[in-house]
Amino acid sequence: MHMADALLSPAVGGAMWAGSLGTIIYCAKKLREKMDDKLIPLMGVLGAFIFAGQMINFTIPMTGSSGHIGGGMLLAILLGPYAAFLVIASVLIIQALFFADGGLLALGANIWNLGIYPAFIGYPLIYRFIVRQNASPQRITFAAILSVALGLQLGSLSVVLETKLSGITELPLSTFLVLMQPIHLAIGLIEGFATAGIVIYVRKLRPDIVDDLEGVKSLSSGASFKKVLVAMAVLAVITGGVFSWFASTHPDGLEWSIEKIYGKPEVTQRANPITENLSKFQEKTAILPDYSLPSKGEKDTKPSWPAVDPGTSLSGLIGGIMVLTLVVLFGIGIKVLRKHKEKM
């Protein structure tokens, strides 16, 4: 559901940048008031895992489409909404800057669409409400599926509305909406089951991580906490380094919807000084565009499956390290600000 710059006008893209940046500042402030230092490494390894997980598109049966996890709800359940939003923002920033996944003008919209709804609607209003009295595996599974599906429905609806408000494409509102909502419902159901499985596993190791439903979690130390960190780090490495070879070659839900209307998965970028400059900047920063090594020539052959590609593995590993580093820097910065405020 990563939007390209071709879908957004500078005005709408700028407004979404402002909204997402304001939310990042708000979340950092909430964490500065009360953040357990042990949350920082957990944020880092989970961010690396979500980066790797978003590289893997899974096929939606009988549609010719695919989807990937958003990860926002998993992060909200394990980290709380404020830390979750900072982590998903970090993932998307690294993707856009260094892997050309999603446009720079559209970065604010992508952060909003994939972060706001799971962290501040799906988690507090659906998931937390359902499991508050009884965090059984059955309730966790039901709550995860329902909240993830709702988050993706709202996110895909935002994509349609942001595109319509931009007014620079000929995508008809009703048709675009009818295509986007059902395909992202299917994606949400699959991600919901995956989210529930990981949450239940983490709860077996450290129940307090899952059972603490406060906005900012308080974690106790212990060997099992290290097990969670190691398990998620190993899963991130395997997912990005190996499982990414088996990603579906079908277009994702957004590309599929556009292709059904246009006959191709991308719309033509309208000439605009802002988007042109941002595209040139992104070309300079993207070290592994499209999660692959730079190619000297065009490939005429259809992508194979599985795609055993060293460039993909390298992207998964480097990207995971970048996200972990950025998240840890976020956490350290918040910690320093908190200590500075305490001294004043």
Crossing angle for the helix pair 10-33 and 310-343, to the nearest 10 degrees: 50
Q: What is the pLDDT of residue 272?
A: 86
State the chain's mean pLDDT as an integer.
91
**pLDDT at residue 302, rounded to an integer:** 58
Asked, as a colleague might, if the bond just before 273 is cis with ω within 30 of 0, I would say no
Q: What is the dihedral of CA 341, 80, 200, 234, to 10 degrees?
A: -60
307 domain-assigned: no
Is 202 contained in some domain?
yes
Q: Residue 40's CB: how many other CB atoms inside 10 A? A: 19
297 in a structural domain:
no
Does some domain include residue 298? Answer: no
Query: For the ranges 41-45, 263-267, 302-306, which has the lowest average pLDDT?
Result: 302-306
Which letter, b or e, does each residue of 196-228 get, where b requires 16 or more Cβ atoms within 10 Å of its Cβ? Answer: bebbbebbebbeebbeebebbbebeeeeebeeb
Q: Are 105 and 13 in contact (CB under 8 A)?
A: yes
Residue 304 lies in a domain: no
Q: Give a yes or no: residue 303 inside a domain.
A: no
pLDDT at 109 (0 to 100) = 98
Q: 208: domain CATH number?
A: 1.10.1760.20
First and final CA of the chain: distance in angstroms? Answer: 44
> Is the CB of residue 46 less than 8 Å from the CB of residue 87?
yes
Confidence at 231, pLDDT banded by 50, 70, 90: very high
Please give the average per-residue pLDDT across 289-318, as a whole number: 76
Residue 229 lies in a domain: yes
Sign of CA dihedral 204, 79, 16, 127: positive
* Res 137: pLDDT: 94
**What is the pLDDT, as a whole number, of residue 45?**
96
Total number of domains constituting the chain: 1
Alpha-carbon span 195 to 126, nearest angstrom: 14
Which burial class, exposed, middle or buried, applies to 49 when counting CB atoms under 10 A from its CB (0-12, 13-18, 19+)?
buried
Taking the mean position of all CA atoms in its chain, how far away is CA 21? 16
Q: Please state the pTM of the whole predicted model.
A: 0.94
pLDDT in tens, 138-188: 999 999 999 999 999 999 999 999 999 999 998 999 999 999 999 999 999
pLDDT digits (tens, 9 = 90+) for 276-300: 999 999 999 999 999 988 776 555 5
pLDDT band at 217, cuts 50/70/90? Answer: confident
Q: Coil, helix or strand for 277? A: helix
If pLDDT is split at 50, 70 and 90, which confidence band does 304 have? low
Task: Report yes or no on 296 lying in a domain.
Answer: no
Range of the domain at 123: 5-291+312-343
